[in-house]
Structure 1
């Protein structure tokens, strides 16, 4: 398929006049804006005026014939050139250049004909303006002379300002700025008429090929080179484009960017300057020449003028894309970038890139396809719509891309080749994951998330499915809920509701799973998830709605609704409201009070008192059920004892009233001890609790960090209680032997019964004496160490008092790092100088 780069329309036709001999024959052509100038074989210049709404594609519009000028002789008009800035029309006929007014075609009397000219060029790049006049450069040459003349053309005069000598007679000529591109009888060369430098290019065969020399752009020339190659040469002699291969029968060639039009006897061939390939062939017979303009190209014949106008570049590129000629489309787009609005260029580049991506997509080159889709900013809905049962959610969406010729029907592929179809599904998931959240996907985030949810659900990908709906998403509730229910993904359904703010629906769904109304094996700890969700919610009404259900199912876990909340969310629920709510849930109430007292460090008497009474209630219930000694009951009793020992905020009377009628004798003793009645406390432990080890532990715990005398007093009291009962005599001996350091030997000897032998208490006596001697010796050691330290200080003072200390400028205090400016200072034991007020901080 050849590309249609130009459209053809007839611009003008000179109909023959049957009444008289008509010798009309077009020999040259020039155009500017709506003005066309024809030079004929018999020295006639004809002015044609195109309609104001001229459109070369509209054949119903024909030009209006304006003035004509007969120059006098029968010589043909070989060249025409308009200088719009001067309103001049330059005419070459009879080997001379004449200047006419471009509108009236009347000769300009001030500009005399320039004789002996074979061809000329107007150097538009050398246009100069000043406050007095506007001038352009005119270059004339004769095939009979080796001299090229430079003329400066103004409104009322032209002058030859320079003559340039060439190494050979010129045959053809093109000009850009100071550079002349010259063809002689056997070669081409470049000549800079200002610097005088010449660059030889390459030879040609004049007998076998026509000479072509024309400008091809800024500082670039098109030449008919050896081997029928169209050569592009810059003014510095460098070729920056590959040559174009054309026929030896070439008649003329012009550049109409980005194409080269080569005229041959039977047709006009259009080549691309981008890739040098033939793009279009226009059949033409008896064509004589070409004229390139900014709008297109004119082809003239003996009595007819045809117009070739550009097919819009956007249309050309879209045609190439439609036929999947992606590389060619990209090359053309790059070549015409400067001629397109930036917005159009970007959109076309995206279309081409995405088409290339779809070609790779259907070929199975998924990695390349993904890169091209991202680069081309493909609308993800274009890809989603290709998959069965994944139509875009927006009813107004219509695909804007051209369908690829070898496109696979994915619905049929799913039925015929499940493995290959799975690869296409994996690609879709990968692509959607990449573009999700980016600028490319933000405009259709609902389609992307819904498509991902469908894929994950149908493929059984629980991890990715839950990750999608657990995070903020744009899934369509109307589309996704039936799908999840169909596949029995009820836990995920709850997550979807939650992510969209429908918290009650979410928890109701999970409650039905927990209660067995829904079957969903994808999550085994739904109840814990409900509790965790409620602990994070700030919506009070939602939490209160499900709190009863959670606590009825498991108080120990359910209470986490209130105890596992973030610290900044603790004020969501008033503590008193929670305590009131938990009255019917004793275990939960106890756990919540523990949270208040131990975690939140509550200082309220009520909380500490309620916690103590809650412990009592729990222990009594365990004892009643025969579980008082198991791990749960025992742990609770340990907690109660710890609270009674450590807390000073509970109401002792209230707690004592709760414990008094019970068998919790150890706790009664602790309360008596907190009230200062240690004797009664020890009596309770010895005679009611009947646990002698607990009694000893009580003495040590009650003394705590107080004076040693209190410990002696408590142990002595316990000893007297033991001695008051004959049954506890052996316990008294054990008490003395195990706690010798806790007794004063003299006092114990006074209270011991006279009937006791020395041998019975010998172990206690030896231990007590050993402890006493040890204490005395340790006291002696400490006294000796203190004396040594004092002696060291005296020595240091003596040494310091005998030597001088120099206080230099800039010396700073070793403690505060400020300057020592006063004559008073302190020298530390390490020899460091400090301020007198800083000396107390040094060792």
Structure 2
């Protein structure tokens, strides 16, 4: 048996050993804490790889911050999140943030963690709200939820597990299926008296899979739309826009798809080609092609759509509308839309083969668009005129004519072939048109239109008579509805004042006369104002012109005595018209006042009934019976009033036919 001294020495030895271990543990704890607080520390992946070293360093820094404001608070937040007490956890986090005990990076970390927990809890709206509050969260972290593995976008997702409180990322359909299974289990457990962490709302009213999937996609769209405004890496931007298009297609949000495709975007077309083609969203695909500079592919789709719009009657965009150039021609709105979109591409394209390849079907839909393509100044290199003229359908005379006019007048072409072809077209148009009949054929050489002859060469016969050529040009412009050009030719070039005024009469609008007056007062090209013509117009059609506008058109140097008599007559006529209108207005107002007074008089009439009063129709005593009084003061009982009606009196007078007029201060009998 050991002596007491030996036992006491052993006790002192173990006590010293325990104290030494405690000191060593405290020292190690202080050294680790000091190491974590050292900003320049390098954190190495335990597996020896450095690809996630930056992420590990960030997690180490967050751990350091957690220690700095107290390990108890961090554990409390984790515990609340494990119990799905999200509101209490966020309240605690906000309090720590307001006290300055938590940095923005840590706050962003916790919001992202809460968002993922809510996402797996099928609370998609609240989850996205927290994702949006997380400034450091990358949109690529949600890519695995949108598209199934394997794909190029899920590889961009960083390997973040946060506190490891939620399952690994998986497709939204899997998240919803697992969540619905958990709700079903919770329902059975609740019947057995076991409490669960599933939301009481889900237990009382379990949601459908379709509603949950739609809600999930809509909120994912909301998050990706917000991320488009952030400064992201190129690859992440491509993923955001491409997957946003994928989600739009899932909900069949066609307008959003086309809006995204037509705006500046980072979509990867190769990833969306098969998807949009299979789902039939060819318009969106064409807009994507055009935005990425793939003109040939975009034009091919627009051509297919134009043909489909023509043959299909079930498309939502299809309805008939009248062509502005030809009221007898109808076109489908879908066709017109396809042609307009194709025109936008071809206007900027310098690929002559591509332009001429698609010019035909656009011209079949709208010839104005075809001309717009040919004369576009947006392209860097002009098209070859010979190739263009050869490609134009001979039946499309207006296209060829407008193109030749552009070459001659705008491009100052001196090629005699173009001038001759243009002259021949003008002559043919003049011979075929009988709508405009001018009264001054003598001034055009004394020849009627049907006797104008064009030789086979046509090089001199048309231009030998400039007046005749301009006459034919006016006919053509009139047919095309170019009012300004017709007036310029008739009034300024031919100086045929009567024909110009007659054309204004056919138009029938005051602005046409004002436009002609402007031409007379400012002929341009250094010519003197045509004052006599202006006076003639004011004398013949002054009632169609506003005197104030007329005076504004005259220049300060114009001698007003030239047109003073005419302007004075216009002013007097308008003053007379104004005063006449005032008189009519005051008379009408007086009649209205007189009628109101008469009506008030009628409503103010009183009648006294006593025991001796009798009905003027049945001669029964009225007593306390209901009675009625006619405008001629006849009194009848209600029974007789119902029998005779309210418009015919006892005397047989019909007040609807024989109106009773009470004398007034203006109206007398």
The alignment's TM-score, normalised by the length of structure 2, stands at 0.44
More strand by share: 1
The alignment's TM-score, normalised by the length of structure 1, stands at 0.36
Please say which structure displays the higher CA radius of gyration. Answer: 1
More helix by share: 2
